[in-house]
Amino acid sequence: MDLLGNDLLQYASHKGEAKAVEPLYKTAILGFLAGVYISLGYLLYFKVMSSITTDLNALIGALFFPIGLLLIVVAGGELFTGNILELSLGFYLKVISFKDMVKNWLVVLIFNAIGAMLTAFCAGSVMHFVTNQNRDVLEHMVLSKIDASPLEMIVSGIFCNVLVTLAIWLADSSQSHISKMVLIWPPVAAFVFLGFQHSVANVFLLTMGMNSGLNSLWEMLFNLFFVVVGNLVGGALVVGGMYAMAYKADSVHVTTTDDVAEVINQ
């Protein structure tokens, strides 16, 4: 059964609750894998951008990028930008504490970044995806991120995570893997095509840039700070906050994970 409204809110919040109490090693492993998966999606995007010379290369690349989030949702993984939604909903509905929410975000972001940086190192320094022929494409992609002003980074990060968390929200509404795939694809492809900034994807891209001498570690950290702020606002306040306010007071109230399962099975 598909979930809508308050039932979806409760289900997503209890997913956040489950993530908040899982063992640290599990969070670390799933966070690392998510960083790798998002990076593989970005690597595919870069390959398309540097291989196709038509005006449609950005659109085609954007249509391939969502493979990363699809792997996370279906195969398993914890992504910082997605966890922003589910953990914030758990906090709003008082099933997890503020401390547990922030702890999960920090651990997941750190291991997302480790996975992304390792993938970037392997792609750039070991498998040599960056060549003399496509270095200018990478340079253009890197500069589009680091040359933005702090306000642009924040606003771009907000819109990025509005779309990413909407993809998670839509995926949580269905129990079918095929439906999840279909629902995830459009919002994620949209944020990539529009050039919005995603913190974990930027770690991969800017690590590739560092390996090629296009940006410094400081420039990556500067960018990451403001993009993370934007991602948090977009996921926790815009999408999570608005849906929590809209549905929290609905008459149908689910209080436990077992109740959520009963709603799904109705």
pLDDT at residue 103 greater than cutoff 90:
yes
Looking at the 3D structure of the chain, how many domains does it have?
Answer: 1
Q: How confident is the model at residue 225 (pLDDT cuts 50, 70, 90)?
A: very high
Residue 250, pLDDT score: 66
Residue 258 has pLDDT above 80, yes or no: no
2 confidence band (pLDDT: 50, 70, 90): confident
Model pLDDT, residue 256: 46
- The CATH number of whichever domain residue 183 belongs to comes to 1.20.1080.10
pLDDT, tens digit, for every residue of 25-73? 999 999 999 999 999 999 999 999 999 878 889 999 999 999 999 999 9
Q: Kindly report the CA angle at 32 between 28 and 33, in degrees rounded to 5? A: 120
* pTM listed for this prediction: 0.91
Per residue in 119-165, pLDDT (tens digit) is 999 999 899 999 988 999 999 999 999 999 999 999 999 999 999 99
Asked whether residue 182 carries a pLDDT value surpassing 80, the answer given is yes
Which ranges of the chain would DSSP assign to H, the alpha helix? 5-21, 24-51, 57-64, 67-75, 80-92, 98-121, 135-146, 150-172, 177-194, 199-211, 217-232, 240-247, 257-265
pLDDT at 55: 80
Domain span including residue 42: 5-265
Average pLDDT over residues 82-88: 97
Q: Give the C-alpha distances (Å, rounded to integers) separating 239 from 230, 231, 234.
A: 12, 11, 6
Average model confidence (pLDDT) across the chain = 92
265 pLDDT band (50/70/90 cuts)?
A: very low
Q: Is residue 263 scored above 80 in pLDDT?
A: no
Q: What is the DSSP string of 181-236?
A: HHHHHHHHHHHHHHT---HHHHHHHHHHHHHTTSS-HHHHHHHHHHHHHHHHIIII
